[in-house]
Amino acid sequence: MPDRSPQPGLEAAAPRRQSAAPSLLWGFVIIAGVFALWSGAIRVFAIPDYIVPTPSATLRTMLIKWNMLLGHVWYTTKVAVVGLALSTLLALTVASAFTASRTVARTAMPLVIALRSAPLVAIAPLITLIAGRGFATGVTVVVIASFFPLLVSALRGLSSVPQTAFELMYVAGATRLQILRMVRFPFALPHIFTGIRVASASAILGAMLAEWLTGQRGVGYLILESADTRELELLWAAILSATTLAFVGFAATVMAERALDRWRMA
């Protein structure tokens, strides 16, 4: 009789497909709970519509003005993605230099801490004066906002390599660049993705801060503009869009990390 036992590959794939369903279900449950609390708070505390609109009015506004909202969300997404990508590249470069040379780390780390300690709200107008009121200003603000958590995670990951791995590479005669590419970066990937998950929310906030200052396009600009014109349904629709964008960014980094893990294990 033919062997009808399930193949190992299919057994390994089945739990992954089943585990995605409860996570998606819990996501819908949480979203429904938030909308229920929102609507319940309005009814219990008798909050008037000119302060907080109802969820139904906000969703109706999102459906009516979806084209305009999508344009602003897309602009904010572009600024956040480009800034986050540049910040990740810069953080990995600086972390690699710090790991390779303690002298460089001792010299440059105070500058990094000083940049992190300076309020971004105070730096952003100066960036606007230098880079102008455009795309470059938003990208620069995002890079500054997301750089430090990425650097800390990359440094922790590059320093988490076991000593036995270094000894094996030294016996094989590997150079520092080969050790960095073949040993340090693979061990640092989980830490790097943790930093990207944390920095993705900072990237959205940084992009919105730049839009508040430049007054051009984006979700941040839409929030400020709708607040000035007292279009509360549009204001809350923009806030809901920004929150959704932050969740999508977080979920995208989680999916990218899982895809990379499957590729590495294949």
Q: From its phi and psi, is residue 161 left (phi > 0), alpha (psi between -120 and 50) or beta?
A: beta
Q: What's the rounded Cα separation, in Å, for the pair 69 and 57?
A: 15
Q: What is the DSSP letter of 2?
A: -
pLDDT at 81 over 60: yes
| Model confidence at 4: pLDDT above 90 | no
Determine the Cα–Cα distance for residues 105 and 113; give it in Å rounded to an integer.
12
Where do you find CATH 1.10.3720.10 in the chain?
A: 65-265
Q: Average pLDDT over the chain, rounded to whole?
A: 82
| Residue whose entry in the numeric block shows the structure tokens 């590997």 | 174
For the chain, percent of residues with pLDDT exceeding 70: 89
Do 58 and 240 form a contact (C-beta atoms < 8 A)?
yes
C-alpha separations of 160 from 49, 133, 165, 175, 186 in Å: 53, 42, 11, 19, 10
User: Is pLDDT above 90 for 31?
Assistant: no
CATH architecture type of domain 65-265: Orthogonal Bundle (1.10)
For the stretch 210-250, pLDDT in tens is 888 877 789 999 999 998 888 989 999 999 999 889 888 88
The model carries a pTM of 0.81
pLDDT at 24: 56
Of 27-31, 89-93, 261-265, the one with minimum mean pLDDT is 261-265
- Per the CB < 8 A criterion, the answer to whether 147 and 161 are in contact is no
Other beta carbons less than 10 A from residue 40's beta carbon: 10
CA-nearest of 152, 107, 130 to 210 is 130
| For residue 17, pLDDT beyond 60 | no
CB 142 within 8 A of CB 90: no
- Contact by Cβ (8 Å): 151, 112: yes
Q: Helix 232-265 vs helix 66-100: angle between axes, to the nearest 10 degrees?
A: 40
- How far is it between the farthest Cα atoms of the chain? 78
And the tokens for 225?
């503009």
Q: Which of 66, 35, 65 is nearest to 52 (CA)?
A: 35
Which of 233, 235, 214 is closest to 224 using CA atoms?
Answer: 235
Cβ(80)–Cβ(206) under 8 Å?
A: yes
